[in-house]
Structure formats: structure tokens, C-alpha cells
Amino acid sequence: MGIRAEDGVAMIPSGVDAARGDGQGPARDGDLLEAVRARSLPGHVALIMDGNGRWAQARGLPRLEGHRRGVAAAERVVRFVAEERLFPCLSLFAFSTENWNRPPEEVESLFTLLEQFIRARGDEFVERGARLEVLGAIDALPASLRRAIAEIEERTRGGEALHLVVGINFGGRWSILEGVRQAMALARNGDLTPDELDNAAFSRLLPTAGLPEPDLIVRTGEEKRISNFYLWEAAYSELYFTPTLWPDFDETALLLAIQDFQGRRRRFGGVAQ
């Protein structure tokens, strides 16, 4: 069975990119990499990393072990994109505004893993020229995680090889509301009129201002929704869904998603030439 693409959405069968199963080690396909490089590449890829808990449960392991393997998968993908300079911007949806509904001990463990990831990979980010930016309601996070975020953002500010955006306590609805609050404040002070508020002006008021809109949004773990990730920004994003659970997602899986993207005809509301 091949890859299927319909109306900007692709769904792939479970055998295509789930062969690894261990969440470790490289799984690169040189021919596939060269084939992807030969065609137009996306500028911004966003990943919804879903399936850590189910990966662990299927193996009789604690959910925390699934999250640990998920961090390893994130490190693997980020390293690959940075090394190969596949595209300039990569977004990872690490913790949503809705994830607070999980058990408190799991939330605490997730924050610990995120802090460890940020601190452990700081030198590598700098060496590879990656700039790390965290998007979300940072004030609600634990103080030690906030400090780690501030430190890594400062250390990597000059990175130009890859712009790595990590959503922590981020949600698309939260982002839009932040933009609305900014617009209301400007209007209250007489600095913005209704006629001045268009798509471009509103985009500049969002927490995502300055980021390119994602060309491709990939979700692992079988579910077929974007779960309050980029909403305003995803108006013309191509969507790609895979049943592969996030800890099993690797370099080849990413290349397959990009290859599918390269087969799309993006019209942006117009007529294909």
C-alpha cells in the first residue's frame, strides 16, 4: 500500500516508517535523502510529537520511559535537520496548554525531561549554529525550567543554521488570544484603528510574529488532528499524518513526510499553473 494524499492531508500505512521500533540509532536512507534534496524543500516543518505513552504501554513500560524515548527521538531529528541543513526552521510541539490535564506527577516529569534536554544539548546547539526559541506562556512554568530557557535562548541567539522552535505551554488558541489582547491594548491607546487591522497587522501581534508559517505539519501517533498547535499560522500548511508513534520516528520517516509534501500542488486559493 502506498502513501495517500488528499486535499492537503496525507495518511501512511503503519509499515512504512515504523520498522525501527527501538527509538535508537540512525536510520538514514542515502538515496531517499538525495531524492528529497533534488526537489523544492519546505522552509518550516512543524512536528506534533504524539504517542510516547502508547509506545511505553505497548511494551509494558512506564509512561515516563516513553517520554524519555520521545526526547531521544527529538534529539535525533533535530541533529539530522541541523547536520543536513534540510530546511531553516523546525518546530516541536512539546507541551500544550491542555497537557496540564495530565496527572501532576507526569507533568512534573515532563518538565524535568524538557529542562534536561535544554541543558544537556546547549553546547551542541551552539556548535551546530542552531538558535533555540521557546514559544508559550512561560510564566506558568517551574522557575528552574524558565531559567534554563532564558539561558539557552541567550546562548544560541546568533545561530543561523537552524531556527528550532519548541512549544512549551503553547496553544494556538492561547496565541490568538494574546494577539487579540495586544490589538485591544493598541486600540485603547489610540494606536490601532479597525481599518488598520488586517491579516498582516494581526500576525505581527501574535507570539509567533517573525516566524514563517509552517509549510508542513507532521503528526505522529495515528490521530488525525492538529490539537491546538499552530492555528492561525496553519491556514495553508500541508498536513501529514503517520501511525508511527513518536519514539519510533526517525530520519527516514521525516524524509518520507517531506517527499510526500514535495508531491503536493499548493495553490494558496489560486489556480495551479
| Catalytic hit among 7, 17, 29, 50 | 50
Is residue 99 annotated as part of the catalytic site, yes or no? Answer: yes
State the number of CA atoms in the 13 A half-sphere of 152 facing the CB.
29
Q: Please enumerate in sequence order all residues whose Cβ is within 8 A of that of 11, keeping only pairs 6 or more positions apart, or say none.
A: 4, 224, 241, 242
Helix (DSSP H) and strand (DSSP E) numbers for the chain: 9, 8
Query: Which regions of the chain does DSSP assign to beta strands (E)?
Result: 4-6, 9-11, 44-48, 89-96, 130-135, 162-170, 216-219, 238-241
State the Cα–Cα distance between residues 116 and 213, nearest whole angstrom: 29
State the Cα–Cα distance between residues 263 and 12, nearest whole angstrom: 14
CB 139 within 8 A of CB 169: no
- Cα 82–chain centre separation: 14
DSSP string, 50-115: --HHHHHHHTT--HHHHHHHHHHHHHHHHHHHHHHT--SEEEEEEEETTGGGS-HHHHHHHHHHHH
Cell matching residue 105: 506527577
- Measured in degrees and rounded to the nearest 5, phi and psi for residue 232 equal -55, -40
| Catalytic hit among 7, 22, 99, 250 | 99
Is residue 17 annotated as part of the catalytic site, yes or no? Answer: no
CB 222 within 8 A of CB 58: no
State the sign of the Cα–Cα–Cα–Cα dihedral 178, 184, 189, 193.
positive
Angle at 151 between CA 145 and CA 152, to 5 degrees: 90
Catalytic center residues: 50, 99
